[in-house]
Amino acid sequence: MKKILFIALFLSFAWIDLSAQTAQDALRYSRIFYNGTSRFMATGGAFGAVGADFSVIATNPAGIGLYRSAEISLTPTFINNRSSADYNGYNATDYKNNFALANFGYVYTFYTGREDRPGGVNSISIAFGMNRQNDFNNRIYMQGPNHTSSILTSFTNVLNTPPILNPNDVRYNYEFDIGLAYDCGLIYYDSAQNKYLSDMPNGGVFQDKAINTWGSINEFELALGGNINDKLYFGLTVGIPSIRFFYQSRYWEEDTGDSIPYFKSLQYDYIYETHGTGVNFKLGLIYRPAPWIRIGGAIHTPTWYPTMYDYYSSQMTAVYDSVLNNTTQISPSGTFEYQMMTPFRAIGSLAFFIGKHGFISGEYEYANYGQARFRAPRDSFSDVNFDISNNYTAPINVRVGTEWRISMFRIRGGFGYYGSPDRTGNVSERYTVSGGFGVYVKSFFADFAYQWSKSEANYYMYDPALVNPAAIALQTNVVNATFGFKF
């Protein structure tokens, strides 16, 4: 595969020189923020020791062992993402709304007739459906002046790194970015100096970038759980996550002060998409030593994606003082297939019950994001995998939640903290605060939840040695409504 260099917004907001996949890609698909039923969301996802909710099969499948009847549920969701970016003293905001399906599930429970036998299995439950794991819908806009460099500065720095590349090979070696700039005349080769130059090596341009991302990770799940003497509950989930990620960016540079000879503006458009389907297994246990306490634990195998598929293309337009010199160059379409493995996970949980009035629960999740890996039959990912191991770590991820029963109503609240996985400091921790209520009437129930989350990150438009980062703040508002029947 030919080498490409492009500038993109991935989860860690970093400028990257790559062969297609990066450490940032691995982090995006490894860091999971569970969505699902409204009850699960309202309590912060801290359901590992509580059970009897369909979404718990994504975290601790032993939870379906606590079902005492059959159930079917459906959860539509509304997501509002807002962003703000501070770049060189200029602030810009944007937002994006999205309607999606957070969950659908079916659980069936049947009794074995062995309740009176010590060690016997009282009941068996099976479940299948879907839980949404990640949502990638977002828009980010940033703008500001740059009086020290241009994106073309980063391009010429690459080309002037010995050995100096023959001008005839620029387009072939850098089809998706530098080659486009060269063919547009934004970069030129000076044979006398044996180096590549541009008309604005020291900036003096006003820069804008608009980024639009969309897609999700939805996991389709099949689970089996059981109840042993109302003391020990066990479960197994087979998960089949499906990745759909789309990225679109538009970058501008403009000579607003008319101080650069010949040059007026440039525009660089880039599109990128990824598709993949994987498989994992989850094993879980819940132990109830007394009616008022439950202790849970689960392990998740690494998720193996045997076939990941990328598609990417780009184009660049240069506008000059002379209209006759304006030009647009379009890249070929790039494709690449590879394999990916995301990290092992372990979740420990604890729940305290106050009779039938309510509960307080909490859980800790372990995931070392430095364990993610890429593989391909004819490509070496040694450098990328080294970056993953070197840059990412196992942060503290905790979730707490509570639910209280008042007649036919349920009142809920939750909190989540996801520590920064990035040793470089470009990705911050993430906080979530949630709440909601439910109404239960005979066999029908309706739950509603609201979740707010916030995170921050640094984004470099190009080489961090040449440009200041844009400080990005992201806020997400999620509204869920679950409708279900028990029978």
pLDDT at 327: 95
450: pLDDT strictly greater than 90: yes
The Cα–Cα gap between 328 and 254 comes to 16
HSE-up of residue 295 (Cα within 13 Å, Cβ side): 4
Q: What is the band of 118 on the pLDDT scale with cuts at 50, 70, 90?
A: low
Over range 20-29, report the average pLDDT: 87
pLDDT of residue 14: 37
Can you spell out the DSSP letters for 192-222?
Answer: TTTEEEES-TT--EEEEEEEEEEEEEEEEEE
pLDDT digits (tens, 9 = 90+) for 383-408: 999 999 999 999 999 999 999 999 99
Residue 178 is inside which H or E element, if any? helix 178-183
The pLDDT > 70 percentage for the chain reads 95
In this predicted structure, what is the pLDDT of residue 276? 97
Query: Residue 5: is its pLDDT beyond 80?
Result: no
CA distance linking residue 71 with residue 355, whole number of Å = 24
Q: 135 pairs with which residues across the strands?
A: 216
Q: Is the pLDDT of residue 17 over 50?
A: no
Q: State residue 117's pLDDT score.
A: 66
* pLDDT score at 19: 40
Domains of the chain: 23-308+334-486 (2.40.160.60)
Distance CA 52, CA 69 (A): 10
Q: What is the mean pLDDT of residues 306-327?
A: 93
Read off the tokens for 67: 């079902």
Question: pTM value?
Answer: 0.91
**Average pLDDT value for residue range 9-26:** 55
Q: What are phi and psi of 31, to 5 degrees?
A: -85, 110
pLDDT band for position 433 (50/70/90)?
Answer: very high
The whole-number average pLDDT for the span 74-85 is 97
Please give the Cα distance from 475 to 478 (Å, whole number).
10
Report the run of H or E that residue 98 belongs to, with start and end.
strand 90-111
CB-CB contact of 329 with 375 (8 Å): no
Q: Which of 2-6, 233-237, 376-380, 382-386 has the highest mean pLDDT?
A: 233-237
Q: Which residues of 30-43 are buried (b: 16+ CB within 10 A; e: fewer)?
A: bbbbbbbbbbbbbb
CB 86 within 8 A of CB 470: yes
CA 419 to chain CA centroid, Å, is 14
**pLDDT, the chain, mean:** 92
177 vs 187: CA distance, rounded Å: 11
Residue pLDDT, tens place only, 199-222: 888 889 999 999 999 999 999 999
For 258-269, how does the pLDDT look when each residue is reduced to its tens digit (9 = 90+)?
888 889 999 999
Please calculate the CA angle 465-468-472 and round it to the nearest 5 degrees.
130
Whether residue 182 contacts residue 170, with contact meaning beta carbons closer than 8 Å, is answered with yes
Cβ atoms 51, 287 nearer than 8 A = no
Confidence at 10, pLDDT banded by 50, 70, 90: very low
Q: Return the sign of the alpha-carbon dihedral for residues 276, 128, 372, 24.
A: positive
Supply the DSSP string of 458-479, one letter for each residue.
EE-SS-TTTSPPEEEEEEEEEE
Contact 122, 112 (CB under 8 A): yes
Q: Residue 386's CB: how many other CB atoms inside 10 A?
A: 11
User: 7: pLDDT confidence band, cut at 50, 70 and 90?
Assistant: very low
